[in-house]
Structure 1
Amino acid sequence: MNFEPVGGACRAARCATDITKECLKELQVPGGCASACGKFGGDTYCCRGQFEHNCPPTNYSRFFKGKCPDAYSYAKDDQTSTFTCPAGTNYQIVLCP
């Protein structure tokens, strides 16, 4: 799926790889790739409880970040993955490129 702004000063957030095809075996779900939080739950993977304010990356979030550096890979990921565009920006969404 491609989701990108049309014109203006915004840049597109992209994933350079097809995560579905490269998903770790333990995260595979029918038709896709689950997050560690969605698959296993728990405070460590879901940034809850004692990890609510200080949630370090896990091997799973590092996997996603390595494949899709523009994407937020977990709740407390770095600010380089935050994109904003001014009001009135138009977007092109391609579901099956």
Structure 2
Amino acid sequence: MFLFLFFGTIFSGNLDFLDISNVNGFDLPLMITVTTIVSPGKKSGLECGNPKCGFIDVNSFCQSPNKITGGPGDGCYTVDGPTATSPTNDTEAFANVCPDAFSYSTDIANHVYFCQTGSEYSVVFCPIPFRLNTLE
């Protein structure tokens, strides 16, 4: 079984960078929230934003050439994500269900979030759907 990949660079200059990645695939929903913002900072857009990716029915979602890993429901591996340098039909499927997450290797334009160093974060695996819908 694999998890979402959360890549973060904390304490890089004056900014912390974080993102959610579906480049290799998807199996669990994830939510990252900023719990304390160090000024200057605002809780909108990519600056101190709250990236998330919710629940999906992996068995229905995962279509060829993408592959279910392990037994039913273990996860969906994307064939194109790790090597694609532009969107493909398969990476677009991941982008449509998780628009806050990377879906291919160079998909950084709107997916790297940042806050001032010293801000605090909460990473929640399998958040309840209500919380995903009520984030600012």
TM (normalized to structure 1)?
Answer: 0.69
Higher helix share goes to which structure?
A: 1
Structure 2 residue aligned with 1:75: 105
Kept after mapping to 2: 8 A contact 1:19/1:67 = no
Matched, 1:35 2:59: no
Which consecutive residues of structure 2, in runs of 5 or more, have no partner in the other structure?
A: 1-29, 43-47, 128-136
| Paired residues, number | 84
Per the alignment, residue 34 of structure 2 pairs with: 5
Contact 1:16 1:68 in 2 (8 A): yes
1:19-74 deviation line (CA, Å, top 9, x unaligned): 63553233211311112147xxxxxx614xxxxxxx22111110011111111100
Q: Which position in structure 2 is the counterpart of 1:20? A: 58
Cα separation, partners in 2 of 1:15 and 1:79, compared to 1, 3 Å: same
Does the 8 Å CA contact 1:17/1:67 hold for their aligned counterparts? Answer: no
Task: Label 1:76 to 1:16 Cα distance change in 2 as closer, same or farther (>3 A).
Answer: same
Deviates more, 1:74-83 or 1:13-22: 13-22
Pairwise CA RMSD: 2.3
Q: Structure 1 85/22 Cα, relative in aligned 2: closer, same or farther at 3 Å?
A: farther
- Say which SS state the counterpart of residue 66 (structure 1) adopts: helix
Question: Is there any run of 5+ residues in structure 1 with no aligned partner, and where?
Answer: 39-44, 48-54
State the alpha-carbon separation in 2 of the partners of residues 36 and 95 from structure 1.
Answer: 24
Instruction: Report which of the two has the higher share of strand.
Output: 2
Of 79, 83, 86, the match for 1:46: 83
Distance in structure 2 (CA, Å) of the matches to 1:92 and 1:75: 25
